């Protein structure tokens, strides 16, 4: 199991420099996940630009894992439950991302990974027609899956509570079942976002922990077991993260998980322990399904992400996760 950093908004050169310098007791990051949008990596990169990118990443001793398709309207995509034009823009964004992912694989710098997506539509809009919108999202995902298959890729839908049809663990499972192509479309579990599934933000009808929950260990354990039993079979990508059980955001990105730094004293997760709910099966055995784990830095200010200490602390937490639930090749 390899250790990756990825998807934050400062330029790629800065990201590579910081993560290449990070070191904890002789252990370094193995690679990076990429956000395919400027100023990180342009979704319209040419083959020559991608070759230069691959060479740059290789010089740092890194490989590439997963890539994020910019499927949202502000980045050129469109809502997966929108009209024909929006849905076409969504699929086009996935097609461009799959092309880049395959090209990086052909260049020998991307040995594994997925293309990350979500529904790119808000919860309020979804709630106007829950069944119809879920079917429309599933139809869009199926069209995107055809594109992914043609490129030898898989799509991972990130369980973030701000996205319609994906804003509760039950709705997420229903959507994946509606798509019905587990070899092509799976789930990306981010520890920060999935924690909020248990609390019922944006979908109180699917809250798992009791309403008078005060982080009692037994209740937390039972909730995480129920959550991961439902979603782990679909999980094909995993983000190590911390959360203080609050939400932030606005507009279509409303009430999404507030990621915390690994050392945040307000964090509710025991990162090294709780990653095991996703990386071990119901019997506690390491599944070895996830080849690389990533820390997603997209929700932090650039000044925080620009500190070397930040990345050393993140790396230390990821090492603990690998020691607890990973394996040696």
DSSP, residue by residue, 68-119: E---SGGGT---TTS-HHHHHHHHHHHHHHHHHHHHHHHTTS--S--EEE--
* Banded pLDDT at 250 (limits 50, 70, 90): low
Residue-level pLDDT at 9: 63
Residue-level pLDDT at 305: 85
Average pLDDT over residues 270-280: 97
Q: How far apart are CA 234 and CA 151, in angstroms?
A: 21
pLDDT tens, position by position, 210-242 = 999 999 999 999 999 999 999 999 999 999 999
Residue-level pLDDT at 143: 98
User: Is the separation of the CB atoms in 115 and 98 below 8 Å?
Assistant: yes
- Give 253's DSSP letter: G
* Banded pLDDT at 128 (limits 50, 70, 90): very high
Higher local confidence (pLDDT), 260 or 253: 260
Q: What domains does the chain contain, in order, with CATH numbers?
A: 2-325 (3.20.20.150)
* Banded pLDDT at 259 (limits 50, 70, 90): confident
Angle between helices 84-106 and 130-150 (to 10 degrees): 30
Tokens of 254: 């409303």
Residue-level pLDDT at 253: 56
Average pLDDT over residues 98-114: 97
Residue-level pLDDT at 198: 97
pLDDT tens, position by position, 167-203 = 999 999 999 999 999 999 999 999 999 999 999 989 9
pLDDT reading at 7 higher than 80: no
* Banded pLDDT at 284 (limits 50, 70, 90): very high
Q: How far apart are CA 52 and CA 55, in angstroms?
A: 5
């Amino acid at each position: 199991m390899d250790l990756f950093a990825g998807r934050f908004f400062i330029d790629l050169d800065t990201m590579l420099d910081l993560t290449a310098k990070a070191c904890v007791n002789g252990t370094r990051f193995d690679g990076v996940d990429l956000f395919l949008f400027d100023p990180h990596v342009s979704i319209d990169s040419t083959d020559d630009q991608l070759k230069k990118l691959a060479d740059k990443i290789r010089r740092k001793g890194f490989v590439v894992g997963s890539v994020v398709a910019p499927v949202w309207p502000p980045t050129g995509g469109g809502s997966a439950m929108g009209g024909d034009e929006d849905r076409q823009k969504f699929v086009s964004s996935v097609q461009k991302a799959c092309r880049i992912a395959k090209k990086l694989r052909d260049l020998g710098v991307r040995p594994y990974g997925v293309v990350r997506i979500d529904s790119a539509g808000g919860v309020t809009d979804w709630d106007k027609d829950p069944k119809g919108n879920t079917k429309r999202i599933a139809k869009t995902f199926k069209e995107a899956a055809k594109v992914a298959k043609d490129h030898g890729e898989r799509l991972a839908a990130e369980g973030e509570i701000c996205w319609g049809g994906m804003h509760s663990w039950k709705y997420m499972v229903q959507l994946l079942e509606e798509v019905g192509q587990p070899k092509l479309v799976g789930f990306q579990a981010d520890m920060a976002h999935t924690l909020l599934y248990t609390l019922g933000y944006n979908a109180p009808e699917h809250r798992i922990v009791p309403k008078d929950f005060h982080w009692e260990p037994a209740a937390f354990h039972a909730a995480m077991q129920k959550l991961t039993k439902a979603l782990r079979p679909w999980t094909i990508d995993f983000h190590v993260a911390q959360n203080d059980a609050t939400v932030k955001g606005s507009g279509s990105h409303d009430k999404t998980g507030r990621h915390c730094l690994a050392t945040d004293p307000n964090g509710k997760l025991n990162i090294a322990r709780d990653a095991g709910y996703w990386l071990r099966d119901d019997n506690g055995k390491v599944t070895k399904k996830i080849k690389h784990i990533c820390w997603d830095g997209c929700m932090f200010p650039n000044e925080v992400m620009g500190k070397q200490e930040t990345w050393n602390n993140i790396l230390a937490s990821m090492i603990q996760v690998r020691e607890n639930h990973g394996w040696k090749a």
